[in-house]
Structure 1
Amino acid sequence: MSSHDPVFEVKEATSSPSDDHSVEHPVRSAPALQPKRMWPKCYSQPLTFLKNVDHIEIRDIKTVQGIVFYILDVFIRHPVSRIPTNNKPQLHRNQPCKPDFRVLRRFREFDTLRERVTASSQQQLLATCPYCDSIRVFMFACYRRPRAFVKLCTGPEERKHLLAQFINRLIEYTVGHPKPNVNTCPQGVRCPGFQAIPALVEQFVRQRCYAE
């Protein structure tokens, strides 16, 4: 090529972002879904019922063919209507309230409930589940729990008082903890104790109702 030949410079075509309308923008990925804790329906039904139990009283006994049955008077907590009214119900303090329903239970059934609840609370290792730990401590520390020495060393009237305190206290621990500042929520709904204990207590309180 001679020196008189024209020289052509080839420049690479560059395009600015403003000239190109098909610029790809980075796509942000959606945040990962987080699991939401939901109590299974089959386990929430016993807890819902037990939370509505106001208290249980044992005021009477019934002997059937030589077997002593304790009559559990179950009182349910009913919602109070806030609608204003002029009607003022007259209630006497000394007049006993009528229970919502009654249940017949033998002393042996109280002891069987204690054994099953204790076994259910021991399926997890200690300090693994706060719910099971609170039940376990209560079952071992409460002197009112049904045992043979309570049956042999106390009379019928004293046993009624001790058994009533035991079942009311057990319901309190089953639905949570008597102290509001103590958190006994289980780490997961798959805890065997959290699945079994509310169902055991509910069956003990509800089944085999007594009708006069």
Structure 2
Amino acid sequence: MATRYWIAALPVADDNVAAGKTALWARLQDAISRHSFDTPLYRFTVPDLRPGTLDSLLALSDDLVKSNIFIEGVSHKIRRQIEDLERAGGVEPGTLTVDGVPVDSYLTRFVWDEGKYPVNAPLKETVASIQSQVAKIEDDMKVRVAEYGNVKSQLGAINRKQTGSLAVRDLSNLIKPEDMVTSEHLVTLLSIVPKYSQKDWLSSYESLDTFVFQGRQKSFTRIMSMLSTL
């Protein structure tokens, strides 16, 4: 069963922000332990970002709803795609990771990437940057899925030619060049006949057309099919 996480943001009333955060964290741990002693708590550290004005925050709150829906949707697409590929490949479902780190570890040991998202940038720019990164990941996934589909189709075509019905497989290993007669007045035609229809074919093929060269039928029996040249 997947682990569910709740993220709670609490205000720090102390003028000394650092001390206030430490005291608030201790109080939260104490309160939770009284009601649910086996519930682990993790400190989700986020740096002090630039909030901007109240108006900009209100405007951003509407954008955050849309961004959250978009990012969550892309995350689910990636998860489903990975699961589909694992099933198609007969591989046991593995643990999803973020940059090579298990999701649980990534969340419980989260560290803000200041290189990608500078803390001194306006919140609106930070949100736009995150959404842009996710959109790029989605585009890359679409390209890779399309490439995988093309390779899979090509592999399927090769397998059909090698192991499929004689109607679609490569006949170069069954028919030799000397079996094919081509001249100004003659051309070799190939027909695939089920084994159970072999007698009917041999008794009737000469009457298919007035230009059939009688007595020139040659058979190549392969398992349940017969390949004939006229």
TM-score normalized by structure 1? 0.21
TM-score normalized by structure 2? 0.20
Structure with greater helix share of residues: 2
Structure with greater strand share of residues: 1
